[in-house]
Amino acid sequence: MAVCLALPAFAQDSVAPTVDNSPEAAQVLPETGLAAILGKHAEAIAKPSRRTIGPVIEEIGAAGEGAPEFLEAWADKRVGQRASDGRFFLIEKVADGYRLTDPATGADAGTAAKSDISELRPNSGVRGVIASALVASQLNDPDPARRQTALDSLARDGAAEHLEPLRASIEAESDPALRERKERLEGLLTLRFDADPAARIAAIERFSGDLGLDVRAALNPIVTTTRRAFAGSPEGNVAAVLRPGRQITAEEAYTLLVAQDLAPARLTRADLRAALQANLQDGQVGGYALEELDTPAARDAAYTALEQAGIVPAAATDDEVTALVAEHSFADIYTEPNADVTSAARRALDAIETKVGVMQAADLGLDALSLASIYFLAAIGLAITFGVMGVINMAHGEFITMGAYTGYVVQLLIPDYTVSILVALPLAFAITFAAGVTMERLVIRFLYKRPLETLLATFGISIALQQIFKNIFGTQARPLTSPAWLDGAWVLNDVVSISYIRIAIFVLALIFLGVFLFIMKRTRLGLEVRAVTQNPSMAASMGINPDRINMLTFGLGSGIAGVAGVAIGLFAKVTSELGSDYIVQSFMTVVVGGVGNIWGTLAGAGLIGTLQKGIEWLNPSNTLAAQTYMILFIIAFIQFRPRGIIALKGRAAGD
């Protein structure tokens, strides 16, 4: 910025361009038109502020040729100021600097070195003002994209003066979608700004029951109220009369009176203390010894003594407060003066709000479903290793992490996000499958008789793996980006929406549920797994190799964890701690659901997800509390159903 401020003399002098002693500049700068205006306001344009730039932009907008292009370029950060003479150019980055275009004439003005040009970067507030100024001209632009931009700007900061140009442009609109949007915006602007109350009420009624956020955003300002105290009866467009002791406490009422200077402020403890302190004489205040004043009662007494001596102003007593409150009336007053408009708006809003409530519940339900599917995905691998085999695998979280890092590495190698995800999913499965099998062969198979010790051994593996990830990938979070077709959200209306990536995770969870069921119920492997789980020695005598089955089962559970890792990495972060964030929740999901049953895990995930979102809804400002109470609930739940929601019965349920 120092560069562009180096020429303040030029900016001030340019009001009279003849003073300019640079022959080149004098030659180029005309007396009027865009160039002159730019010269005049060089400083403001170089360092604009939303509060002050309005008139300048208006002036530029009226400058005629080149003005809209200049404003557009300015908002797009395509304008630069040349350090040597302070002039503005439309700029385009080229290899070793910028190509310049004169904004007024559109003529090529050569190139400039990088150091010679300071790019203008108006902030988004200023960009909003610029866009607003461009609305009128863009509304009828032949380019639909420009018209769209204009409408975006209108939706953001529509103003009364836009109403006429907007109305005028509707007739000529050829694009049906844009036309519909224009009509909607026209209605919204009408209900806010039209001079005729009847037109406003008609517009309000048109939107009755509409769930759009923009409608509520337009209606709510109409029904804003201010709370005021009146010496007589309330004046203005009264929304509600407040009687002290009922709709408003006496204390609040008095505070309101103080705020409006209708009553003196009450004496606070700090004031009392300060007053006593100020009147301390010879270790005495109002006849009371300093040492005595360590109770509120003694201090009150001392203050009363000072009051009686006339040294301090009298503080309002309770009786006076009551009397003053009784003398006044209190009311909420609409800022909008027209009562018909406010009551129409109130009616419309009431109708909308009931619907919004229902929709919010639906949205919350979707969120809960999504969270449940994430927990399910994280826990399904555990449901196999822990639920079916009874092996506590504390390194399960690290398998999830491993999957996520696989996704990251694949994206480094394959830049196309869609392909890389398609490669990453099976690869993650393969890698974690291999890791799981290795772990089972090297460690876990020696510990099948000692389940608590697998917990320790796998915990050791868990912290070792976590540190190894840190050593390889560093401690920074790594990017794992979803393909473009998973960007954005499925929007039902302005209240209910859910991101595609969450839907994808939900679908993935369903697929895994299906795969799991298929393998366990319909394949030879599943049959053998169930046999080995129930009675290894009997299964062995039937010709099943329990070692092999255990190995494969464990590999399957780990492999699913890897795939879950890719999915979780897509919607959250990829760090070495990704998995350990989910491990405790995953165990709880399995335990709450009931060990050894995939439907139990599903129910567990559903319960935990719903519960957490429910508590979050009750206490929106503290997400931590939701997690705390959810865990407490689970602890309590297990007391009553120690075997989970869906408990196995009979011999299979043995410890």
Partner 1 sequence: MELKPGFLSKNPSVLVFLLVLALFTLGVTLMSEAYGSGAISTSFVKTLGKTLCLCLIAIAMDLIWGYTGILSLGHFAFFGLGGYMIGMWLMYARTRDIVLGSLTGLPPTPQEINDAVATQIFGVVGTSELPAIWSFAGSLPAQLALVVLVPGLLALIFGWLAFRSRVTGVYLSILTQAMTLALSLYLFQNESGLRGNNGLSGLQNIPGLTADQDHLSVWFLWGSAAALALGYLLAAFVTSGKFGSVMRGIRDDEARVRFLGYSVETYKLFIFTLTAVIAAIAGALYYPQAGIINPGEMAPIASIYLAVWVAIGGRGRLYGAVVGAAFVSLVSTWFTGGRAPDLNLGFYTVKWVDWWQVLLGLSFVLVTLFAPKGLAGLVDMVQGLRPPKRGGAPLGPDDGSLQEREANE
Partner 2 sequence: MKFTKSLLLGKGLATLFATGALAEEDTIKIGVLHSLSGTMAISETTLKDTVLMLVDEQNKKGGVMGKKLEAVVVDPASDWPLFAEKARELLTVNDVDVIFGCWTSVSRKSVLPVIEELNGLLFYPVQYEGEESSKNVFYTGAAPNQQAIPAVDYFLEELGVEKFALLGTDYVYPRTTNNILESYLQQKGIAAEDIFVNYTPFGHSDWSKIVADVVALGADGKKVGVISTINGDANIGFYKELAAAGVSADDIPVVAFSVGEEELSGLDTTNLVGHLAAWNYFQSAESPANEEFVAAWKATMGEERVTNDPMEATYIGFNMWVNAVEQAGTTEVDAVSAAMIGQEFPNLTGSMATMLPNHHLTKPVLIGEIRDDGQFDIISQTDPVPGDAWTDFLPESAVLKSDWKELGCGMYNTETQTCVQMKSNY
- Terminal CA-CA length for the chain: 73
Residue 76 binding result from partner 1, partner 2, none, given CB thresholds of 5 to 8 Å by partner type:
none
Helix H segments across 6-143? 8-13, 23-28, 33-40, 42-46, 50-61, 67-75, 124-138
Tell which residue, 588, 535, 525, 584, has the closest CA to residue 557. Answer: 525
Contacts 24+ apart (CB under 8 A), 465-472: 465/395, 465/398, 465/401, 465/402, 466/398, 466/401, 466/576, 466/577, 466/580, 467/576, 469/398, 469/401, 469/402, 469/405, 469/576, 470/576
Our CB check for partner 1 shows the closer of 180 and 300 to be 300
Q: Where are the beta strands (DSSP E) in 316-367?
A: 329-334
Tell the smallest beta-carbon distance from residue 634 to partner 2 (Å): 17
**From partner 1, partner 2, none, interface partner of 631 (C-beta below 5 to 8 A by class):** partner 1
Give the nearest distance from C-beta 15 to partner 2 in angstroms. Answer: 27
156 binds, among partner 2, partner 1, none (CB under 5 to 8 A by kind): partner 2
Which residues contact partner 2 (rule: CB under 8 A)? 1-2, 49-51, 77, 121-128, 152, 156, 213, 216-221, 224, 360, 363-364, 367, 370-371, 374, 467, 470, 474-479, 481, 487-489, 491, 494-495, 497-502, 568, 571-575, 577, 581, 613, 616-617, 620-624, 627
* Residue 248 DSSP class: B
Subset of residues 385 to 404 that bind partner 1, contact rule: CB under 8 A: 390, 392, 394
Are 250 and 321 in contact, with CB atoms under 8 Å apart? Answer: yes
Q: Which residues of 572-611 are buried (b: 16+ CB within 10 A; e: fewer)?
A: eebbbbbbbbbbebbbbbbbbbbbbbbebbbbbbbbbbbb
Least spacing, CB of residue 576 vs partner 2, in Å: 9
d(CA 349, CA 220): 8
Report if residue 639 touches partner 1, rule: CB under 8 A.
Answer: yes
Q: Which does 495 bind (CB under 5 to 8 A by kind): partner 2, partner 1, none?
A: partner 2
Contact between 253 and partner 1 by CB under 8 A: the answer reads no
Q: Are 150 and 135 in contact (CB under 8 A)?
A: yes
Residue placing its CB nearer to partner 1 in the complex, 244 or 604: 604
Give the separation between CA 136 and CA 128, rounded to whole angstroms: 14
Min dist CB 478 to partner 1, Å, is 18
Residue among 243, 254, 655 at smallest CA distance from 451:
655
Q: Please report whether residue 540 would count as binding partner 1 according to CB under 8 A.
A: no
Interface with partner 1 in residues 594-623 (CB under 8 A) = 622
For position 379 contacting partner 1 by CB under 8 A, the verdict is no
Binding at 459: pick from partner 1, partner 2, none (beta carbon under 5-8 Å per type): partner 1
Q: Which does 374 bind (CB under 5 to 8 A by kind): partner 1, partner 2, none?
A: partner 2
- Identify the residue among 221, 245, 296, 479 touching partner 1 (CB under 8 A): 296
Which positions ≥6 away from 417 have C-beta within 8 Å? 411, 481, 482, 483, 484
Q: Name the residue with tokens 């619907």.
A: 355
Residues that bind partner 1 (CB under 8 A): 273, 276-277, 280, 285, 290-291, 293-296, 299, 390, 392, 394, 443, 446-447, 449-453, 455-457, 459-468, 470-471, 584, 587-588, 591, 622, 624-625, 627-628, 631-632, 634-636, 638-640, 642, 655
